[in-house]
A and B are shown apart, each in its own frame.
Chain A
Amino acid sequence: MREFIDGNTAIVRAALDAGCTFFAGYPITPASSILMAMMRQLPRVGGVAIQGEDEIASIGMCIGATLAGARAMTATSGPGISLYSENIGLAIMGEVPLVIVDVQRLGPSTGGATTVSQGDVQFVRWGTAGGFPIIALAPSTVPEAYHLTVRAFELAERFRCPVFVLTDKELGTTLTTVDSEALVAEPVAARVTGAAGTPYRYQPAAAVAPLHEFGRGTTVRFTGSTHDEAGFITKTLPTVDALNRHLIDKIEANRVEIELVDADLQPGAKTLVVGYGITGGAVRAAVAAARGAGEPISGLVVQSLWPVPESALAVALDGVERVIVPELNPGLYRREIERIAGNRTVIGVERLDGELLSPQQIREAAA
C-alpha cells in the first residue's frame, strides 16, 4: 500500500509508535500540524496533549510530565527553539529524556515562516548555556522522518537527555508518496526506571542511571543547579566536576552508538558530497547524475548531525581530495567538515533565498 503523507505526519506516527504519551506545543508555522495531529491522536491512545501558553511552558510541561513518568515530545520551529533554550538546559542538567522536533524555517527572527531553511543546525547544538553536547538527528526523506523520530525516542531514553529531530518546512509539509511498509518500526523498549537510591550516577562517567519517576519509589529531587547524585544542590568541586564530565561523556564516549549516515561511496572517487536533511535528496540526485555522466563521485548524507559522525566521515574522506557541502544556510555545517577534512579542499554550496538547492547546482560546484 502506498500513502500520501508529509514529514510532520510521519513524525506524529513515529511518536505514537514509539510510545509517546505526552505532547505539549505552541502553534508555529511550519510545525503546527504536529501539534494539531497530536491533540487529536494522543488521547485516542490514552496520552495527553496540551497547547501551552507559549513555547517556554510547552517544553516545561514536557519536562514535568517526563519526571512524572511520561514519554514526551514537543515540536516547534526556530523562533520556538529560542524560547526553549533555558528548558533545554534544564533537561540536559536534570537528565530528562525528551524529543524536540525543530521544523526549520528561514531566519533570523520571524524570517520566512513558510520558507525552507537549514539555519538551525548550529543553533540546536549551541542553543543553551554551557556548551554541553546534545544529540540531533536530521531526516532527509519522509520515511527517514519516521525512523529517525523513533530512534530519537530510543536515544532520549538511552542517554536521558533531550534529542532533536531537525527537519524543515519542505520536508515537514510537502505530501509525498511513500510505501506503508516504510513506516513501520519495532516498539521502543519500556523505560528502565529506578525506585530507590540516588537519581543520578556520575561514575563511570559514560554510564547513565535509570530515571527515577515521581510517585514511584523513594522521594528524590531534580534540579537545574549543580547537584550531587542525590539531586541536592552542591558546589563541592569534585562533585561538580564529576557531574559535568558525566554530562559530556555519556554522549561523547558513546558517539559511535549514535552515529547514523547514509553513505554511497565510490572507490577511487576524489570528490565527496556531504549533505543532510532536505538537501540530502539533491545530494543523492547529483551523485547519480555525475556517475551517469561517467564522473566518479561519492555521496554521504549525514543523519546524526550531532555529535558529528566523525568515524563515518573519516571513512568517507579516505582518498578524497575535495568535499562539496551543500546547505540552505551560510555554510554552518561546512565548518564541521572543514574541522575534520585536514588539507582537503572544502567547497560550500549555499542557498539563502528560501528555495531548495538543485542537483545541478551541486554538480556545477563539483565541476
Chain B
Amino acid sequence: MTTGAKYTRQDFQTDQEVRWCPGCGDYTILASVQNFMAEMGVDKEKIVFVSGIGCASRFPYYMNTYGVHAIHGRAPAIASGIAVARPELSVWVVAGDGDAMSIGGNHLIHALRRNINLKILVFNNQIYGLTKGQYSPTSELGKRTKSSPSGSIDFPFNPVSLALGAEATFVARTIDMDRAHTTEILNRAYEHKGSAFVEIYQNCNVFNDKAFIALTGKEERDLNRIPLVHGEKVVFGPDRDRGVIIEGGTARIVSVADVGIDAIHVHDATAASAGPAYALSRLSHGPFGPTPIGVFRSVDRPVYEETLQQQIHDAQAKKGGGDLAALIASAGTWTVA
C-alpha cells in the first residue's frame, strides 16, 4: 500500500448528507472505504465507483471520486464498459445482495468469469432494505418478511460459493463492523489483478437486525469466526482448539485434539483448484454458526483488458493502423467492376 500524506479521509467525502438509517452498517463500510482510499494514495480522479439500486447504491454520492448511480443490477456491466475502455482507471462496484445476486446475477457472474479488473463490493444484509423489508436471494430459508409471510421457500445463495463457481480469481468475505479486517481485504482486492469479489456482511438494523450476530456479538464472535490465513492451518475458537479438515472435497469442523493438528487443513488461497476454497465456503449458510472470514481465493489469470489490448495491438500491427479503406475491403465486401 502506498502511504498517504497525499490524502485524508476528508478528501474522499462529498458535501452530500449521508442518508442511511442511523445505525446502518453502511456508515462503517463507507468510513472504511474512504480511509482505505486515502491510504491507497491513488489519484481520486483515477477512481470510479459504480452502483445499481438499493441502499448500498447511494455510495457514489458520498465518494469524492468519479461515480455512476445506474440502474438496478447493471452496475457490473456498466463498470465493465468503463474498465475496458480505460484500463488505467480503478473501477469499483458497490451492490447489495439483491442488486448483485438477484436482478444483477447474470452480469455479476460474467464480469467475474471474464476477470475484468473490477473490485466488486457486495454489501450482504440478507434483506431488501430500500424497498422496506422483502426477502432477498441471501435470506435464509423460512425467513418471514413482508413478501414472504409464510416464510421464504427460496434456497439462498452463498455469495462466496457463487463467486467461486463463477470462476472468480479473487473471493473474500469480511464484516462491516470489523474495520481493520475490512481494510485489509480492500487492500488485497485492490492489489489483485483482475476482478475481485468481496462479500461484506452488513447489518441492516431496521429490517434485518442482528443477522450476523453470530459473527459480531461479543459472546459469539470468537466462537464462530474462522479466520482464513494463507499458508496457515484453519483453526478457530477462543482457545484455537477447533479446526477444519477437508475430506473427499468436503470441509468439516473438528476438535483439533480429536484429529491431531497435522490433519487440519492448511489454507492455500492460491491453489490451482477452487475446490478447497469452495469446500470452505460450504461450512456456513447463513451465517448462524462457524463461518470462514478472509480471502478464500486469490489466483492469477489473464486480465480481460490486458488480453484485449494485446489483441488490438496485434490486429493493428498485422494490418497497419491507418488504412481503413483497405481493412474494410478485406473484410467481407466485394467490389463489382
CB-CB under 8 A from B85, the residues of chain A are 21-22, 48, 64-65, 68-70
CA distance A220 to B69 in the complex (A): 11
What distance in Å separates the Cβ of B12 from its nearest Cβ neighbour in chain A?
10
Verify if A339 is at the interface (C-beta below 8 Å from B): no
Q: Is the CB of B61 within 8 A of A233?
A: yes
Q: Is the CB of B332 within 8 A of A37?
A: yes
What distance in Å separates the Cβ of A58 from its nearest Cβ neighbour in chain B?
8
Within the complex, which residue of A37, A68, A232 is in contact with B16, where a contact is CB–CB below 8 Å? A232
Q: Is the CB of B77 within 8 A of A64?
A: yes
Verify if A243 is at the interface (C-beta below 8 Å from B): no
Contacting A at CB under 8 A, from B34-88, are: 44-46, 48, 50, 58, 60-61, 64-72, 74, 77-86, 88
Verify if A306 is at the interface (C-beta below 8 Å from B): no
Verify if B110 is at the interface (C-beta below 8 Å from A): yes
Chain B residue nearest to A50 in the complex (CB): B84
CA distance A299 to B153 in the complex (A): 62
Verify if A225 is at the interface (C-beta below 8 Å from B): yes
Task: Tell me if A's interface is mostly helix, strand, loop or mixed.
Answer: mixed
CB-CB under 8 A from B48, the residues of chain A are 68, 214-215
Q: A3-B336, A40-B331, A46-B316 are in contact. Are A221 and B79 (CB under 8 A)?
A: no
How many interface contacts (CB-CB < 8 Å) are there between A and B?
A: 178
Q: Is the CB of A224 within 8 A of B82?
A: no
Q: Is the CB of B82 within 8 A of A65?
A: yes
Within the complex, which residue of B44, B86, B316 is in contact with A44, where a contact is CB–CB below 8 Å? B316
Q: Which of the four size classes fits the interface of chain A?
A: 35 or more
Within the complex, which residue of B70, B88, B107, B311 is in contact with A43, where a contact is CB–CB below 8 Å? B311
Chain A residue nearest to B68 in the complex (CB): A222
Verify if B328 is at the interface (C-beta below 8 Å from A): yes
Within the complex, which residue of A45, A65, A86, A231 is in contact with B81, where a contact is CB–CB below 8 Å? A65
CA distance A41 to B297 in the complex (A): 37
What distance in Å separates the Cβ of A68 from its nearest Cβ neighbour in chain B?
4
CA distance A222 to B16 in the complex (A): 15
Q: Which of B85, B327, B328, B331 has the most CB of A within 10 A?
A: B85
What distance in Å separates the Cβ of A60 from its nearest Cβ neighbour in chain B?
3
What distance in Å separates the Cβ of B102 from its nearest Cβ neighbour in chain A?
14
Verify if A116 is at the interface (C-beta below 8 Å from B): no
Chain A residue nearest to B323 in the complex (CB): A44
Q: Is the CB of A225 within 8 A of B69?
A: yes
CB-CB under 8 A from A86, the residues of chain B are 71-72, 74
CA distance A218 to B328 in the complex (A): 39
CB-CB under 8 A from A46, the residues of chain B are 312, 316, 321
Verify if B150 is at the interface (C-beta below 8 Å from A): no
What distance in Å separates the Cβ of B217 from its nearest Cβ neighbour in chain A?
35
Verify if B308 is at the interface (C-beta below 8 Å from A): yes
Q: Is the CB of A54 within 8 A of B106?
A: yes
Q: Is the CB of B68 within 8 A of A16?
A: no
CA distance A111 to B78 in the complex (A): 30
CB-CB under 8 A from B84, the residues of chain A are 48, 50, 61, 65
Q: Is the CB of B81 within 8 A of A63?
A: yes
Chain A residue nearest to B58 in the complex (CB): A233
Within the complex, which residue of B65, B107, B321, B336 is in contact with A57, where a contact is CB–CB below 8 Å? B107
Chain A residue nearest to B12 in the complex (CB): A219
Verify if B324 is at the interface (C-beta below 8 Å from A): yes
Q: Is the CB of B86 within 8 A of A215?
A: yes
CA distance A17 to B328 in the complex (A): 11
What distance in Å separates the Cβ of A49 from its nearest Cβ neighbour in chain B?
9
Q: Is the CB of A48 within 8 A of B312?
A: yes
Q: Is the CB of B82 within 8 A of A223?
A: no
Verify if A148 is at the interface (C-beta below 8 Å from B): no
Q: A64-B80, A64-B85 are in contact. Are A57 and B312 (CB under 8 A)?
A: no
Contacting B at CB under 8 A, from A48-78, are: 48, 50, 52-54, 56-58, 60-70, 72
CB-CB under 8 A from A218, the residues of chain B are 45
- Excluding A9-B333, A56-B106, 16 further A-B contacts by CB distance (< 8 Å) are A13-B328, A50-B84, A57-B74, A61-B77, A63-B78, A65-B85, A67-B82, A86-B71, A86-B72, A218-B45, A219-B45, A221-B69, A222-B69, A223-B68, A232-B61, A233-B61
Chain B positions within 8 Å of A, measured between CB atoms, are 14, 16, 44-46, 48, 50, 58, 60-61, 64-72, 74, 77-86, 88-89, 106-107, 110, 308, 311-312, 315-316, 319, 321, 324, 327-328, 331-337
In order of increasing CB-CB distance, the 6 nearest A-B pairs are: A64-B81, A61-B81, A60-B77, A221-B67, A65-B85, A57-B77
Give 15 pairs: A residue, B residue, CB < 8 Å, sorted on A: A2-B337, A5-B333, A22-B85, A41-B328, A45-B327, A48-B85, A57-B110, A60-B80, A62-B81, A63-B81, A67-B78, A72-B81, A87-B74, A177-B336, A217-B45
Chain A positions within 8 Å of B, measured between CB atoms, are 1-5, 9, 12-13, 16-17, 21-22, 24, 37, 40-41, 43-48, 50, 52-54, 56-58, 60-70, 72, 86-87, 89-90, 94, 175, 177, 214-225, 231-233
